[in-house]
Amino acid sequence: IPWISNSITIGTATTTIVTVITPFITIILVAALVMLIKHTKIGMAMRAVSRDFETSQLMGIKINSVIGMTFVIGSLLAAVGSFLYFSNYTSVTPLSGSIPGLKAFVAAVFGGIGSIPGAVVGAFIIGICENLIKGLGWTTFSDAFTFALLITILVAKPTGLFGEKFTEKV
């Protein structure tokens, strides 16, 4: 969409339209995902399959359909995120999304795997810390900080901020 990369001036700051609309689109998509997972049949099936694969299958849930739908939803969300991220760039290579993808993984681990609010909080904390580091003039260390944070979280609290401890009874 050509107009999405156009410049816009808000007060004294100049930015692009995509930079302004990205937070709103993100909030809408996260709310829609939470509603889907918490209040629909497919969401209930997704939660059941993620909790206990074999029991879900014994309860009559079509595991392959749920896994397929999960991949479709994840792919759609990744496509929207990629579109918003790369609309500011003139060229894209196959490896262009590797660092943002790894940072998204770090945010998910930081917040707790399986916790949508945790992933959002993790992403905000990582974004704020990276921008503070860049603001201090240490631009080259911002990516290293993200991965150092991942190691720190995995050592200190392996389940993440909002992750729940899962124990399996034998």
> Per residue in 115-142, pLDDT tens?
888 889 999 999 999 999 999 998 888 8
Q: What is the pLDDT of residue 77?
A: 93
Q: What is the pLDDT of residue 80?
A: 93
pTM of the model: 0.81
Q: What's the DSSP call for residue 161?
A: S
How many Å apart are CA 81 and CA 52, to the nearest integer? 30
Final residue of a domain: which of 77, 92, 107? 92
Helix (H) or strand (E) holding 15: strand 13-16
**130 and 69 co-located in one domain:** no
Q: What is the mean pLDDT of the chain?
A: 88
- φ/ψ of 40, rounded to 5, equals -125, 165
SS3 of 166, please?
Answer: coil
How many Å apart are CA 107 and CA 128, to the nearest integer? 12
**82 and 155 co-located in one domain:** no
Residue 115: which domain range?
97-170
Final residue of a domain: which of 28, 62, 92? 92
Contact 147, 104 (CB under 8 A): no
- Reported in sequence order, the residue ranges of 22-123 that DSSP labels E, i.e. its strands, are none
Final residue of a domain: which of 92, 112, 139? 92
Q: What pLDDT band is residue 42 in, cutting at 50, 70 and 90?
A: very high
Contact 110, 160 (CB under 8 A): yes
Spatial CB neighbours of 37, under 8 Å, sequence gap ≥ 6:
43, 46, 47, 116
How many Å apart are CA 7 and CA 4, to the nearest integer? 9
How many Å apart are CA 60 and CA 134, to the nearest integer? 52
